[in-house]
Amino acid sequence: MNIKAINLNLSYGSDDILHDINLEINAPKIYGLLGRNGVGKTSLLSLIGSFREPTSGQILINGEEPFENARLMQETTFMYDKDYTGETDPPSRILKDINRYRPHFDLEYGMELLSKFKLEGKKSIAKLSKGKQSAFNVVIGLASRSPITIFDEVYLGMDSPARDIFYKELLKDQQMHPRIIILSTHLVSEMDYLFDEVIILKEGRILLKEPYDEIVSRGVTVTGSKQAVDEFIEGKEILNEEQLGDTRSVTIYGNLSDAEQVRAMEIGLHVGPVSLNDLFIQLTKGEE
């Protein structure tokens, strides 16, 4: 599958949400979509999921517009933080119904996930806690096995053990059934290891789209004695600082030259990678 956005714009009335988005997603990998609140993550994902149409520009899946395209719409699953108020069926019943519509749906896997997330009871989904409802959204998204699967913040209500099950299942199932998975999240430091590629939105525009490894090499963490670190980082852009006793750890933006790396080693500093979260905070600063 291939997703392509060409000069994509979206406005709600006079409110401009997305500006001139150009983006291409080709490989069946896990993409992390990051951005501050209100930058248009959900809007962009709704366009891919055919929930709405762009104001101008195009969104193409395999070269065709997905909106109202029956063949393409069935290949895309867009899970969001859904409100189940008024729903009377238990999770297992809902899965059976979805199985009627989703061409790649694996009902057996879905049922297995229900028991992993302890959702196999007869209680209606509306009566379950917010966290369980979120877990159910995760189950639908995984069991649908759609070539394009989008999770828009569905895991927010889940407790950490449940999220951990989700991450493990996601990686395991992705290995067996590779597909394009887009995860939009605020839980950056918790989920960064899942991402093959990272897309950051800022003020309705794509700020960057890079493989995870490349993006985290945009900065380094230097750890060592307070004095040595302070000396070494002079004049550099600091993303984050932490200190424990005499040990100081500073995250700086930008790469170190070979000479700087050698010098760091000489003065006994440990040089490590930067966390995606620190970079994310730095890159999306100044939006308020």
Partner 1 sequence: MQKPVSYLKVGYDLFYVQLTWTFWALGIFLLINISRLIFLDYVDSYYSGGYISANIYMLVIGIIAINFLPYYVENGITRKNFFLGNVLASIGLSLVIPILIYVISFFEELIVHNFTSIVLRDHTLEDVVEQVTTDIDGNIIGEIIQSIILTPFINPESHVVLSLALFSLHIFAFYIIGWMIGAAFYRLRLIGGLIFIAIGLAFILIKDSMIRLVLDIPLFQNLKVLANFPENLAFPSVFIIILVSIILIHFLTKRVAIKI
Q: Which is nearer to partner 1, 72 or 198 (CB)?
A: 72
How many residues bind to partner 1 according to rule CB under 8 A? 26
Least distance to partner 1 from the beta carbon of 81, Å?
8
Q: Which is nearer to partner 1, 153 or 278 (CB)?
A: 153
Q: Which is nearer to partner 1, 77 or 277 (CB)?
A: 77
CA distance 130 to 83: 9
Q: Is 228 in the site for partner 1 (CB under 8 A)?
A: no
Q: Is 176 in the site for partner 1 (CB under 8 A)?
A: no
Q: Is 153 in the site for partner 1 (CB under 8 A)?
A: no
**Interactions with partner 1, residue window 80-109 (CB under 8 A):** 80, 82, 97-98, 100-103
Q: Is 69 in the site for partner 1 (CB under 8 A)?
A: yes
Q: Is 52 in the site for partner 1 (CB under 8 A)?
A: yes
Least distance to partner 1 from the beta carbon of 132, Å?
19
Least distance to partner 1 from the beta carbon of 36, Å?
19
End-to-end CA distance of the chain: 36
Least distance to partner 1 from the beta carbon of 97, Å?
8
Q: Is 51 in the site for partner 1 (CB under 8 A)?
A: yes
Q: Is 37 in the site for partner 1 (CB under 8 A)?
A: no
Angle between helix 107-116 and helix 91-99 axes, rounded to 10 deg: 160
Q: Can you tell me which of 23, 73, 107, 187 binds partner 1, judged by CB under 8 A?
A: 73
Q: Give residues in contact with partner 1 (CB under 8 A).
A: 42, 46, 50-53, 67-71, 73-78, 80, 82, 97-98, 100-103, 146
